[in-house]
Amino acid sequence: MLGERPGQTFTGIVVVAFALALPVGAFMLAQGVGPALARVPVAEATAFVAAGTGPGEVKTLSARLEAIGGVARVRFVPRDQAWAELQRRARDGQGFAEIKPNPLPDALVVEFLPCAEPATVSAAAVAMSKLPRVESVQAEIEWYRRLVLVIQAVRAVLVPVALILALLVVVVTLGTVRRATTVDPAELRLLDQIGAEDDFIRRPFVYAGAVLLGIAAAGCLGLIAVGRFLANPPLADLGRAFGVELALDYPPWPLVTAFVAGSLLVGAAAGYVFGGRQVAQARALR
Amino acid sequence: MAADVSTELSSDQPFVRLERVSRKYGTFRLALSEITLSIDRSELVLLIGGSGAGKSTLLRLVGAIDPPSSGRVRIGGEDPARMRPNELAFLRRSIGSVPQEPLLLDGQSVLENVMLPAIASNQTRREAVERARAALNRVRFDDVDALPGQLSSGARYRVALARAIVNRPALLLVDDPVSRLDADAADNMLHLLEQFAISGVTVVLAAQRRPERTPARSRLIRLENGVLA
């Protein structure tokens, strides 16, 4: 059946391989890049410690900050370290050398949980400012609020886009199996006439569907391998620019095996159904 | 030849029985009207009628390919219209049909085409090949590896006949072979059909006119405009 129209069969396999590569590629992207992207939007707030606060009080203050809702961790930045860092970053180090003593206070930098709600961050900043030995709190929330809104908007669009793509994959895959397993109704009537049972008539359709999707699944894995080879270097560069590790990894072997086996089964089932429909249509033409 | 139809017919019951059978195509075209007909086992029936008389339609009803629009058909005592799909498939395996324009599968050799009914009835490939070669021998066709596209219309007809007899049918229906074969081949075919009838196969042969040599022990039935004349 597939060998009778080799050009059409080959085209169908290529089309389905590309269609199947979409969800597989999306899965790999989610696995490889998703966790790294989830870490990107992290809000921070800085609590400047009042002058004269002892180490023990700083430690207590740090613990109280960690207990505030939405806080992931607290990092202590001593005033000397902050001053050295400021001098290092400044363009005119001469000007800083003349300022004595160090005017900066000790600081406790609060990092919030990834993708924390902006309202949570605002509330935490207010709570921080009310703690004893906290002189002031600096929290730039507006950029974070805009970033979270962008992420939420993208997610809201991604879901329907993913559903549409999934539907397209199903339509393309099943449509290709149907076209590849179409036979002359006269041949089906002949089989009917000589006393072939339904299972006998449907068998070639089942085999053809399974072979078509099985080969397409293997082709899809090949496409994925090529895509991974091409995408990983630029992804790695992008990740380095943001201080995260970005890479596409192959799905686990059990999942790959299930994918190929599932493709074979779906192809066989589709062939069985389409074969049955063609037989019924051929009989109706008598 | 062994018959594969499982029947419990008594010897006085006809093998094929049509009771007031009509067949209509679409709304208006009445191909057969109120045909009542009996055919006994091992009988050789010549069904004679001009073009459009309804011969092919009658053969399709007798062969359980098409159902009647009204009336009843019984083959071996069973009504095909009341059978389940697998029962109908089993019945059809015991009927060999050679239509006016036999369909051969172009991508398969003559041998594979003739083997098809044997494979479809769950014979092993080896048995199917043996049966197919025997059937082709009977119709005197040698080029088993030829493709249908390479055959003349007469050769295609003989291959179709071989395919029809490969499963040793109890009932053989042959639609207008004479017009497709030269005189010698037509005579050979008539002789062959006589042999089948003698060996116990019920044979119905449709033709536009009576053959020059009417087979012995045959019955003539005339059909005109869908009714028995």
Q: What is the ipTM of this complex?
A: 0.82
Name the token pair of A195: 């006393």
Q: How far is B63 from chain A (nearest CA, A)?
A: 8
* A105 and A217 belong to one structural domain: no
At A36 the pLDDT is 66
- Of A86, A106, A140, at which residue does a domain stop? A140
Residues A280 and A165 in one domain: yes
Check B92 against A191: CB less than 8 A apart. Answer: no
Q: Tell me which of A4, A5, A190 to substitute to probe the interface with B (most B C-beta atoms closer than 10 Å).
A: A190
Q: What is the pLDDT of residue A96?
A: 59
Cβ distance of A195 and B86 shorter than 8 Å = no
- Pick from A259, A282, A281: which is nearest to A16 by CA? A259
- Using CA atoms, how far apart are residues B192 and B153, in angstroms rounded to an integer? 19
Q: Which residue of B has its CA nearest to A3?
A: B107
What values do phi and psi take at B70, rounded to 5?
-155, 165
Q: Is the pLDDT of residue B182 over 80?
A: no
Residue B126 has pLDDT above 90, yes or no: yes
Q: How confident is the model at residue A203 (pLDDT cuts 50, 70, 90)?
A: very high
- Chain A residue closest in CA terms to B123: A196
Evaluate whether residue A152 is within a structural domain: no
Confidence check: pLDDT of B159 > 90 = yes
DSSP line for A14-43: HHHHHHHHHHHHHHHHHHHHHHHHHHS---
Domain that holds residue A277: 6-39+161-284
Contact A286 B121 (CB under 8 A): no
User: From CA A34, how far away is CA A117, in angstroms rounded?
Assistant: 19
How confident is the model at residue A99, as a pLDDT? 65
- C-alpha distances (whole Å) from B180 to each of A22, A119, B186, B187 are 57, 91, 8, 12
Q: Are residues A165 and A280 in the same domain?
A: yes
**Chain A to chain B, count of Cβ pairs less than 8 Å apart?**
44
Query: Are B121 and A190 inside 8 Å of each other by CB?
Result: no
A267 assigned to some structural domain:
yes
* Mean per-residue pLDDT of chain B: 88
Q: How far is A280 from chain B (nearest CA, A)?
A: 12
> A32 and A57: one domain?
no
pLDDT at A144 over 90: no
Instruction: Report the alpha-carbon distance of residue A130 to residue B126 in Å, rounded.
Output: 94
Q: Does B2 touch chain A (CB under 8 A)?
A: no
- B147 part of contact set with chain A, CB < 8 Å: no
Task: Mark yes or no for CB contact A194/B105 under 8 Å.
Answer: no
Q: What's the pLDDT score for residue A6?
A: 84
| Cβ contacts of A262 within 8 Å, gap of 6 or more | none
Q: Do A270 and A186 have their domain in common?
A: yes
Chosen for mutation from B93, B123, B161 (greatest number of chain A CBs closer than 10 Å) is B93
Query: Does A215 score more than 90 pLDDT?
Result: yes
Q: Does residue A74 sit in the same domain as residue A130?
A: yes
Token pair listed for B94: 């015991």
What is the H or E stretch that residue A201 is in? helix A198-242
pLDDT mean over B17-35: 89
Alpha-carbon B32 to chain mean position: 18
Q: Which residues of B touch A186 (CB under 8 A)?
A: 103
Are the C-beta atoms of residues A3 and A12 closer than 8 Å to each other? no
| B121 contacts chain A (CB < 8 A) | yes
The answer to whether residues A169 and A253 belong to one domain is yes
Which of the listed residues A75, A105, A140 is the one where a domain comes to its end? A140
CA of A266 vs chain B CAs: smallest distance (Å)? 26
- Span A36-45, pLDDT tens digits: 666 556 788 8
Distance from CA of A230 to the nearest CA of B (A): 43
Measure CA of the first residue to CA of the last residue in chain B; give whole Å.
32
**Alpha-carbon torsion A204, A210, A213, A216, what sign?**
negative
In a domain, A149, yes or no: no
CA B75 to chain centre: 13
* A14, A60: one domain: no
Which residue of B66, B107, B116 is in closest CB contact with A194?
B116
A130 CB-near residues (< 8 Å, 6+ apart): none
Q: Let me know whether A31 and A50 are in one domain.
A: no
Tokens of A234: 């630029």
A268 part of a folded domain: yes
Same domain (yes/no): A13, A86: no
How many beta carbons lie within 10 A of that of residue A93, not counting itself? Answer: 10
Question: Cα distance from B117 to chain A (closest Cα, Å)?
Answer: 6
Domain boundaries defined on chain B = 13-94+170-229, 106-168
Answer yes or no: do A11 and A52 share one domain. Answer: no
User: Which tops the pLDDT comparison, B32 or A90?
Assistant: B32
Q: Is residue A230 part of a domain?
A: yes
Distance from CA of A184 to the nearest CA of B (A): 10
User: B219 - beta bridge partners?
Assistant: B45
- pLDDT surpassing 80 at residue B178: no
Q: Which residue from A187, A189, A195 is facing B120, i.e. has the nearest CB?
A: A195
Q: Give pLDDT tens digits for A106-127.
A: 899 998 887 788 888 888 888 8
Instruction: State pTM to two decimals.
Output: 0.72
- Is A101 inside a domain boundary? yes
B134 touches chain A (CB under 8 A): no
Torsion region of A267: left, alpha or beta (phi above 0 gives left; psi -120 to 50 gives alpha): alpha
pLDDT at position B97:
93
Q: Do A286 and B66 touch (CB under 8 A)?
A: yes
Q: Please tell me the total count of domains within chain A.
A: 2
Q: Which of A187, A195, A286 sits opposite B89 (nearest CB)?
A: A195
* Residues A261, A195 within the same domain: yes
Q: Which fold has domain B13-94+170-229?
A: Rossmann fold (3.40.50)
CATH number of the domain at A63, please.
Answer: 3.30.70.3040
Query: Is residue A255 in some structural domain?
Result: yes
Number of CB atoms found within 10 A of residue B14's CB: 18
